[in-house]
Amino acid sequence: MRGAVLHAPGDVRVEDREDPRILLPTDAVIRLSATCVCGSDLWPYRGVEAVTGPSPMGHEYVGVVQEVGSEVRNVKPGQFVVGSFFASDNTCPICRAGYQSSCVHREPVGGLGAQAEYLRVPLADGTLVATPETPSDDLLPDLLAASDVLGTGWFGAVAAQVGPGRTVAVVGDGAVGLLAVLAAKRFGAERIIAVSRHESRQKLAIHYGATDIVTERGDEGVARIRDLTGGLGAHSVIEAVGTQESMMQAIRSTRPGGHVGYVGVAHGVELPGEELFFSHVHLHGGPAPVRRFLPELIDLIYKREIDPGKVFDLTLPLEQAAEAYRAMDERRAVKVLLTP
């Protein structure tokens, strides 16, 4: 089959890879209907994360089950399924508490390479969620978004305890930040401040429910958010970048007793303990347990109550994965959908 492989920073190639097959009785193999490039794929692409040898890329996927192992009970060949970036058994105490992305048996899907024609999914019963029926093509981008960026933005809003009457700020205008705006709106936030300096992203943020746009970053951004919140800071702040600057902007934009939900994969972040102590914020986040939210998200998508697929502003054939990475790296595209 064909699949995208990162050979070195900036060097993504689509090449022949071995066809995935069932290795364990809990595996499934799916034929991908759509996949995409994640903001977190840009960390190794940019060389911020080390690249050690050729790495199959991609961890976002929707598709049709081709084959299942002998112990798989919950999904069967022919079903359309959505999964996420950690395979989980969905039965251990950590999964049952809603943290499937820290499942005691978790396996990262990233290493298996979902930017491809086929994908082996470990722990299929605990990882994949079948849709009610095979979706029409126009729902594919929405369902693919649920696989990661929607589930991650959603978790950010949950972690930041967004709710009715609350003022929410979202730091980061990538797909996750934009979908955190969507989630905050669904959760009844009264006011949603999006931090963005890109006009097309601002428009999408407003489409998803943002009531205010802040273009400043860092301490200036903090000052603007404080101005907008009576000097107190927001009740809830969602961090969707993962840098030192964005984390500190999120913490400093939150009022004492408020909640920071951070879902940008942290890179080189060091949190000053004393400032955090006196900030009085709640801090929660990490890799989103997307599996927790998938049944609800799929339901909302089928009812056409949410349209997360709008974050895909470019669609390319899988063979052009290299161009997809370039477009996202250069911020010409928010998120690129790849069709195998």
Size of the site for a copy of itself (CB under 8 A): 40
Is there binding between residue 285 and a copy of itself (CB under 8 A)?
A: yes
8 A C-beta contact, residue 237 and residue 258? yes
Is there binding between residue 290 and a copy of itself (CB under 8 A)?
A: no
Is there binding between residue 280 and a copy of itself (CB under 8 A)?
A: yes
Count of C-beta atoms within a 10 Å radius of residue 121:
27
Count of C-beta atoms within a 10 Å radius of residue 64:
14
Is there binding between residue 330 and a copy of itself (CB under 8 A)?
A: no
Cα Rg of the chain, angstroms: 19
Smallest distance from the beta carbon of 282 to a copy of itself, in angstroms? Answer: 4
8 A C-beta contact, residue 17 and residue 56? yes
The b/e string for 176-201 (b: 16+ C-beta within 10 A; e otherwise) is bbbbbbbbbbbbebebbbbbbeeeeb
Smallest distance from the beta carbon of 278 to a copy of itself, in angstroms? Answer: 6
Smallest distance from the beta carbon of 232 to a copy of itself, in angstroms? Answer: 6
Report the alpha-carbon distance of residue 6 to residue 52 in Å, rounded: 10
CB of 130 or CB of 269, closer to a copy of itself:
269
8 A C-beta contact, residue 46 and residue 1? no
Smallest distance from the beta carbon of 111 to a copy of itself, in angstroms? Answer: 16
Count of C-beta atoms within a 10 Å radius of residue 11:
13
Three-state secondary-structure class, residue 19: coil
Is there binding between residue 218 and a copy of itself (CB under 8 A)?
A: no
Smallest distance from the beta carbon of 246 to a copy of itself, in angstroms? Answer: 11
Report the alpha-carbon distance of residue 266 to residue 100 in Å, rounded: 19
CB of 25 or CB of 218, closer to a copy of itself:
218
- Which of 131, 249, 279, 320 is the binder for a copy of itself (CB under 8 A)? 279
User: Which part of the chain contacts a copy of itself (CB under 8 A), choosing from 12-20, 70-78, 229-237, 323-331?
Assistant: 229-237
What is the footprint of a copy of itself within residues 94-123 (CB under 8 A)? Answer: 94, 97-99, 101-102, 104
Q: How far is CA 92 from the centre of its chain?
A: 23
What is the footprint of a copy of itself within residues 20-79 (CB under 8 A)? Answer: none
Residues that bind a copy of itself (CB under 8 A): 93-94, 97-99, 101-102, 104, 230-232, 242, 244, 247, 255-257, 262, 265-274, 276-287
